Amino acid sequence: MTIIKPAIAVAALAGALLGAAAQAQATLRPDQVAFRALYKDLVETDTSITTGSCTLLADKVERHLRDAGYGDADITRFAVPDHPKEGGLVVILPGTSATLKPILLLGHLDVVVANRADWDRDPYRLIEEGGQFYGRGTADMKAMDAVWIDLMSRLKQGGTRYKRTLKLALTCGEETSTAFNGAQWLSENRRDLIDAEFALNEGGSGRTDGKGKVLTEQLHVGEKTPVNYRIEATNAGGHSSIPIADNAIYELADALVKLRAYEFPVQFTDTTRAFFAKAGAARGDDLGKAMVVLATATPGSAEFAAAEAKVNADRGYHALLRTTCVATLLDGGHANNALPQRAGANVNCRIFPGVTGEAVRATLETVIADPRMTVKRTDLRGPDAKAPPLDPKILGPAEKLVAKYYPGVPLVPAMSAGATDGVFLEAVGIPSYGPPGFYTNPDGNGVHGLNEHAIVAAVYTGRDLLNDLVREYASH
């Protein structure tokens, strides 16, 4: 038996890992090597709201763009004095056409906070392991940021100009409601700087079966509006030794039970109807058949009701069919020997496009049906979401390139149950779409959670597809 000392074993393991990394690097094209280095720099620059700085990363991106040949006339930096670490930039590559409107490439630089003690690896290092890129922001959304920056740089270096002007806006504040939101600021203060026929943003991507097979690629078309409401019960309280039925905590509990039982009605946009029809047909199982029926049957019919019940069993599909509201925070009472004078809950709603926040607030009041309670909106992240058109000029080139890079995989238009900065663009007349290209597993790849990761093959394939897609859009 050969006995290997621990130090020698560690050194051997480190050498093996370095050798594997070097071998992986050797298989990359030169342009992919440069892209990977850029991606690494983005991920390894902490841009979380607590310990990081978007402005620092914007400085690095600006230097990268200037090295590619962009000058003062091409680059605009922006920030506000009370948020000095949350700045961004816009860079413009002029096109050859004086009549075709520009295309805006949008990306947010900020990431969700990551606690090193909870992660298996350093969240602010790009670690390639087992076919995955690990690190905060690898999936949301520094891979796409790197694609946009790399593309704009190579076009400038090569002297390439498309018919349409290309604009790249890199912003902060998407992940944190209390931060300075660059996309909102640009839309409200420098609409001229980002003016475009449409924008390409996050939110698209594909889905696998969890075992490496890509099932669908998605074109993100529209999203819900996230809104928080506070439901609150108040009364005079009193000594706990003399209880009464008029108790704020009980009243709140009764209200939340009613909310839990309430189901908002099914709604469709052109995008969600197409999604259920195409994604259902691609599945081919009983759930898929119910999805197709739901997209085609008459609302209110027995056939529609049966299909809805089947589809509602999938929580993701359930959320795409309607506005949803759920209690997320509770507080109440002021002493353990006193009747509560106040009890409240935060209710987080994801509102279907075309429905106003005030309409949902009124619905919550009706559902609770208790005049002793108040329902108040507590935040205003931005405007109510609008559904952009399911435009064949956007869909067609994307379908063609998905067929090229993912043969046999359908492109499915999809609405997001979450939220992106596209809502600010759509409010000022710039439709926002999340293109296909990347893909993730059903578990979400740790986005916003622990050990976030992106699939290595998806990053490189997605980059090539997105490069071709921008060329298609910008050349016609």
Could you tell me the CATH number of the domain that includes residue 202?
3.40.630.10
What is the CATH number for 280?
3.30.70.360
Same domain? For 320 and 424 the reply is: no
pLDDT in the model for residue 2: 35
Confidence of residue 323 (pLDDT cuts 50, 70, 90): very high
Is residue 433 within a helix (H) or strand (E), and if so which, with residue range?
Answer: strand 432-434
Confirm whether 364 is domain-assigned: yes
Q: Is the same domain home to 232 and 173?
A: no
The alpha-helical segments, DSSP class H, found in 27-141 are 30-43, 54-68
Cβ atoms 104, 198 nearer than 8 A: yes
Evaluate the CA torsion angle 271, 277, 281, 284 in order and state its sign. positive
Residue 235 falls inside a structural domain: yes
Counting residues of the chain whose pLDDT is more than 70, the rounded percentage is 95
Helix axes 30-43, 54-68, angle to 10 degrees: 160
Same domain, yes or no: 212 and 238: no
Coil vs helix vs strand at 170: strand
Closest Cα to residue 198, out of 411, 383, 413, 433? 433
Are residue 408 and residue 364 in the same domain, yes or no? no
> Which burial class, exposed, middle or buried, applies to 50 when counting CB atoms under 10 A from its CB (0-12, 13-18, 19+)?
exposed
In Å, what is the CA distance from 116 to each residue of 49, 120, 218?
15, 8, 32
pLDDT at 48 over 70: yes
Residues linked to residue 89 through DSSP beta bridges, in sequence order: 77, 170
Q: Which residues pair with 434 in a beta bridge?
A: 220
Would you state the pLDDT for residue 406?
Answer: 97
Residue 18: pLDDT over 70: no
What's residue 177's pLDDT?
Answer: 82
Q: Provide CB contacts within 8 A for 428, sequence distance 6+.
A: 187, 188, 191
DSSP secondary structure string for all residues of 312-334: HTSHHHHHHTS-EEEEEEEEE-S
In the predicted model, is pLDDT for residue 294 greater than 90?
Answer: yes
CA gap 315, 406 in Å, rounded: 27
1 occurs within a structural domain: no
Please tell me the predicted confidence (pLDDT) of residue 20: 47
- What does 233-248 look like in DSSP terms, one character per residue? EE---EETTS--S--H
Whether residue 249 is predicted with pLDDT greater than 90 in this model: the reply is yes
Q: Is residue 10 part of a domain?
A: no
Residue ending a domain, choose from 355, 377, 399: 377
Q: What is the domain extent for residue 177?
A: 27-223+385-475
pLDDT band, very low/low/confident/very high, at 9 (cuts 50, 70, 90):
very low
pLDDT band at 15 (very low <50, low <70, confident <90, very high): very low
Is 2 within a domain?
no
Average pLDDT over residues 66-93: 98
- Mutual angle of helices 142-158 and 54-68, in 10-degree steps: 20
* Residue at which a domain ends, from 323, 353, 377: 377
Q: Using one digit for the tens of pLDDT, what is the confidence trace for 102-160?
A: 999 999 999 999 999 999 999 999 999 999 999 999 999 999 999 999 999 999 999 99
pLDDT digits (tens, 9 = 90+) for 390-429: 999 999 999 999 999 999 999 999 998 888 999 999 999 9
Residue 24 has pLDDT above 70, yes or no: no
How far, rounded to the nearest angstrom, does the alpha carbon of residue 27 sit from its chain's CA centroid? 31
Q: Name residues whose C-beta falls within 8 Å of residue 458's C-beta, 6 or more positions apart in sequence.
A: 206, 438, 439, 440
Mean pLDDT of 47-60: 97
pLDDT the model gives residue 26:
61
Let me know whether 247 and 264 are in one domain: yes
Tell me: do 262 and 359 sit in the same domain: yes
Q: Are both 284 and 411 inside the same structural domain?
A: no
* 214 and 91, same domain (yes or no): yes
Report yes or no on 5 lying in a domain: no
Q: How confident is the model at residue 274 (pLDDT cuts 50, 70, 90)?
A: very high
Residue ending a domain, among 348, 377, 406, is: 377
DSSP 444: G
Average pLDDT, the chain: 93
pTM of the model: 0.87
- Residue 181 DSSP code: -
The count of domains in the chain is 2
Report cis status (omega within 30 of 0) of the bond before 141: yes
Across 445-449, average pLDDT: 92
Phi, psi at 188, each rounded to 5°:
-95, -25
**Residue 253 and residue 394 in one domain:** no
**How high is the pLDDT of residue 3?**
42
Confidence of residue 260 (pLDDT cuts 50, 70, 90): very high
Same-domain check for residues 343 and 448: no
Query: Among 364, 415, 357, which Cα is nearest to 387's?
Result: 415
Q: How many CB atoms lie within 10 A of CB 339?
A: 21
Query: Is there a domain that residue 14 lies in?
Result: no
Task: For residue 352, tell me if it sits in a domain.
Answer: yes
Q: Are residues 215 and 75 in the same domain?
A: yes
Question: Of the given ranges (20-29, 179-188, 412-421, 460-469), which has the lowest mean pLDDT?
Answer: 20-29
C-alpha triplet 469, 383, 224: angle, nearest 5°? 60
- Assess whether 135 and 230 both reside in one domain: no
